[in-house]
Amino acid sequence: MSTALVWFRRDLRLTDQPALAQALAAADTVIPVYIHAPHEEGAWAPGAASRWWLHHSLAALETELRVRGSRLVLREGPALAALEALIAETGATAVFWNRLYEPAVIARDKAVKQALAERGIEAVSCNGHLLFEPWTIRNGAGDPYRVFTPFWKACTAELGTVPAPLPAPERLPAVPPAVASLGLAALGLLPKIRWDAGLAAAWLPGEAGAMATLSQFVEEAIGAYDVDRNRPDLPGSSRLSPYLHFGELSPRQALAAASVPGVGDSAGAASFVRELGWREFAHHLLFHFPHTPDEPLDARFAGLAWREDPAELEAWRRGRTGYPIVDAGMRELWATGWMHNRVRMIVASLLTKNLFAHWRHGARWFWDTLVDADLANNTLGWQWTAGCGADAAPYYRIFNPLLQAEKFDPGRAYIRRWVPELAALPDKYVHCPWQAPAEVLLAAGVRLGQDYPLPIVDPRSSRDDALRRFEGLKRPGQ
């Protein structure tokens, strides 16, 4: 009787689970294990919101495993030591896992695979996280892509080769009773001060939550996704990003759902698949340029003198900038662990272009507060807005928060929801309360500087200042 370990990481599902499928084909007894080793993720260990999600996702996985006759074995790291202990306890001769692509995790996994091989243990890693492995997509010169459009063109040509999602097993072998497991609470993932009520109200972590969210999106929103995805006041987003990050949903499942007849021929479905492409591109860049979570891809930005103003940074974090569309986004983030993607770009532009704060400050705040905090996507997004990454917005592209609010929150519903102190203002002034006459402010019960702050920075003068700073960058070859 052969025994294999399946090392779950950020693939917390049973459907389309390549590592689990291969283990079941190779062994009689399969032991699912999760090893909590955040220190092995280097400087980017999961933030507070991610830890909350992880707790509930592990609980959901445990439920799904028990329904099928198995259970999840929880251990604490180091990962190699935990695996070696389980191998000694169970007599396992193989370990299966799905690959991840963060630099610290790649280094850890290589060391684990080598150490297991030296002990005669088969170590099998699979692709369960991406449509395409990062090293398989290259340009004509054999180099990695740095621009999205040609990258996605190359991927699109290969979409027909993407395998169909694997079904979930109906039954699983029982885990021997002698194999001990930590209790989930022992991992200490939940906050000690319970600030997480808003997250619990907004999300259902786990594979069942992922499938329900995917189904609702395909049934109700995917057809108009190409337009509505830019409107934070409408339910036009897929809201699948945390499920994809934690692997409760695979990209192959998302691609398949967007490609069924009657769905896949819409402009909205094509736009959604393209967004899956941006996720692929983010991981492509992180794999090939592993320094980018901390350093700009465009080396010209390395010596840029960013401003350091702790008070302004704190006002931005707390949604007290005086720009309602920005403050709405930052408060949505604080309350729900998520922010609409269009608003992410607006708040990032204000921080990096108007306040001229280093993009790493924003990346770190998002890392701790987003339930979908993903190193590849977070890095791509912040470097895109700051102008220093691949496919980056040019340095002179600076979002005007008023124009963005007018265009993408035309009915003022988003701001009224998240900045309720402005809700009684007439539509004309909700986006720009500082322009309201005194009698209008009085009638709406708004005292600027008390109930709601005045703008933290002037958009026009700060834009001009940013342009002067950016124009000092040397062009390649200078």
> Percentage of residues in the chain with pLDDT exceeding 70?
98
What's the CATH class of domain 299-471?
Answer: mainly alpha
Beta-carbon contacts of 86 under 8 Å, excluding residues fewer than 6 positions away, are 5, 31, 33, 73, 75, 92, 179
Domain boundaries, the chain: 3-128, 130-164+207-288, 299-471
Q: What is the mean pLDDT of residues 163-192?
A: 97
| Nearest partner of 215 among 191, 243, 173, judged by Cα | 243
Residue 475 pLDDT exceeds 70: no
pLDDT tens-digit readout, 270-282: 999 999 999 999 9
pLDDT at residue 194, rounded to an integer: 86
Residue 61 has phi, psi (to 5 degrees) of -65, -40
Percent of the chain with pLDDT over 90: 90
Q: Give the tokens for residue 373.
A: 């905090």
Helix (H/G/I), strand (E/B), else coil: 123? strand
Model confidence pLDDT, tens digit, residues 315-345 = 999 999 999 999 999 999 999 999 999 999 9
Question: In this structure, what DSSP letter does residue 95 have?
Answer: E
**AA identity, residue 9:** R
The whole-number average pLDDT for the span 160-189 is 97
- Which CATH code is given to the segment(s) 3-128? 3.40.50.620
Whether 9 and 113 have beta carbons less than 8 Å apart is answered as no
pLDDT for 9: 98
pLDDT category at 477 given cuts 50, 70, 90 is very low
Please provide the CATH number assigned to the domain covering 130-164+207-288. Answer: 1.25.40.80
7-52 pLDDT, tens digit per residue, is: 999 999 999 999 999 999 999 999 999 999 999 999 999 999 999 9
Q: Residue 394 pLDDT > 80, yes or no?
A: no
Name which of 360, 369, 383 is nearest 282 in CA terms. 383
Q: How far is CA 360 from CA 40, 122, 123, 373, in A?
A: 21, 40, 36, 14
Q: Would you please indicate which residues are annotated as catalytic (active-site) residues? A: 275, 278, 306, 341, 359, 382
pLDDT of residue 474: 57
Q: Indicate the DSSP class of residue 354.
A: I
Which of 78, 74, 90 lies closest to 23, judged by CA?
A: 90
pTM over 0.85, yes/no: yes
CA dihedral 364, 368, 371, 374 (to 10 degrees): 40
- Positive or negative, the CA dihedral 346, 347, 352, 356 is positive
Range with the poorest average pLDDT among 4-13, 246-255, 383-392: 383-392
Query: In whole angstroms, what is the distance from residue 471 CA to residue 300 CA?
Result: 11
pLDDT score recorded for residue 390: 86
Name the residue among 355, 380, 387 with its Cα closest to residue 366.
380
